[in-house]
Structure 1
Amino acid sequence: MTNHDYGQMTNDYSVKTLKQGLIVSCQAPIDSPLHEPTIIAAMAQAAVNNGAVGVRIDTPSHIVAVRERVKAPIIGLWKQIISNYDVYITPQYHHAAAVAEAGADIIAIDATTRHRPDGETVADIINRIHQQLGKPVMADVDTIEAARAAAIAGADILGTTLYGYTAKTNNDSPPGWELLRQIVAELDTPVICEGGIASPQMARQALDLGAYAVVVGTAITGIDVQVKIYQQALQNS
């Protein structure tokens, strides 16, 4: 059985439930008073109560808190800064295992072509998540090349999450409309549009371009960032 075959098998209810829906990323900066498991869980519950088909949550303790209050699919990840490596979204298998143990339904990983710790490849970590954790994988990518490789490796979902946030794309600003178009045109793997979706109209545009689902974070839950934007606008008037 190939990785791709296994990826198709794990395209279970949690993935299908996301189709054509809104996924709300409930996260907060570490230095924010919002960075508390109970507060993140309240955000997630409010999102689901109002129609979100799923939530995207960082950090095992936050995932545990959200799982207690939300039955909708959780896309879980664990941001970790590792010296000498640029990958930071669930960079190693043991981070993925902790995310699964916490209660995530889908594991999000950095699936760019950047070097990973321990010499592990994207294919390695996807295979281990499938075989040892039995969870679908959302591969966060930045380019069509990374998307192709992740699809071949058996990713269950592709995400445009890292477009504009890597050395190869740092001259570009999300949303990655062109990347979304390329993935939809070339690959059969469902693609979630994430990054830079700042209005309901932009979310609708993502679906119209062929996105399987849409993730919105800062525009809905990013109180710290949004207040700064408003305050700067007032100061500049």
Structure 2
Amino acid sequence: MATVDKRRRNARRSKYRPRSEAQKQRRKELWAAREADRKAGRRLSEEDALTLRLEELEAALRDQGHVGIHNRRHVTPLDEIEDDVQRFAVLKARVERLEALWAINQRKRETRGKIIIGGALLAEAADFDVEDRDALLERLVDILDRRVDRVRDRLTVRELLGDAPLPLRPGGDLDEDAETALAAAGEVLPDFDAMAQAALADDEDDGLSPGEIDPDYADLDGVWEAPS
């Protein structure tokens, strides 16, 4: 079988003529002219997705007691916005607003749930008539000892549980006082004396002269002394 030199075979001239500079420029102009159509197509697909998301958010918020955005009289329905670009911008803004409202609502529900669970457990532990109360309290103290690190938080929890046997810091002694526990944990109590002095200094700086209160009394500024 005779071998064929591929380089020689591919060296023949192509029947297709290369594009001229004018043809290339024309192709670029057509591509640029169709860019608006491509953007419109992408916007339509995004608009469909945003519309679906808007309906989902409205339904979810309505189920949780919030009214949908279309129930507000001052809001123009999307169907009445004729300009495509404006309608897309309004739709996107409404979805973003409802997304933020949904996130806030979920955080509130989560916080409320935590408060309810904590309150129920605290009430159960404080009820002396509950069966196996000591076992429940021991279990709570064990959980708190593993989950709570800050000395101030441990002190608050221990007081709520009626001086439960919870050390003020992980691995600490039950008889350890708050100041020692704070020092051992690297936490520092605020300097209340410095805070009081700073507050008094701010009050002195806030003293107004008679002229600042009423321009008619500006002649008294030179002899005015703030009360001590």
Is the pair's TM-score, using the shorter chain for normalization, greater than 0.5? no
TM range (shorter): under 0.3
Identify the structure with the greater strand proportion.
1
Structure of higher CA gyration radius: 2
Question: If the length of structure 1 is used for normalisation, what is the TM-score?
Answer: 0.20
Identify the structure with the greater helix proportion.
2
Question: If the length of structure 2 is used for normalisation, what is the TM-score?
Answer: 0.20
